Amino acid sequence: MSKSKRVNFLKSFLKIYGVKKIELINETFSSINGIAIYNESDTEEKQEFIWHKSEKEAPPKELNILIEKIIAKKMHKGDRMFNSIEKLEFSEFDNQKRDKLISLLYDVEIKMINEEKETDSFFVHN
């Protein structure tokens, strides 16, 4: 059985933050809830999250390709993307698609959960 598009996207997106592993807590039609683990040997290095998106609303797999290239080329510092991402070239899609994907990337917001309340968010900016 293949993993959901949401799980695949979350694994890719949260790498921007240095997340090494995701443990799922709950998946519903309209959201996905889990724990982002930064360091598997330090149980304190984790953050619970919820993403209010259905499987149907998950970004296209090309966004994962964009994110992986940004990470591989070190074109970000934490949640800040460098302007040079707008010049990245891809064999998988054209520049117009790249620009749409960058826009989608900036629209992602995954809520952090602290003490059972949605607080801060995982998001990226330039």
pLDDT in tens, the chain (126 residues): 357 899 999 999 999 999 999 999 999 999 999 999 999 888 789 999 999 999 999 999 999 999 999 999 999 999 999 988 999 889 999 999 999 999 999 999 999 999 999 999 999 998
Alpha-carbon distances, residue 17 vs 36, 54, 95 (angstroms)? 9, 23, 26
3-state secondary structure of 72: helix
Helix 61-72 vs helix 95-107: crossing angle, to nearest 10: 90
Task: Say how far residue 52 (Cα) sits from the centre of its chain.
Answer: 13
What 8-state DSSP symbol labels residue 79? T
* Residue at token pair 């040997």: 41
Taking the chain, what is the end-to-end CA distance rounded to the nearest angstrom?
Answer: 37
- In this prediction the pTM is 0.92
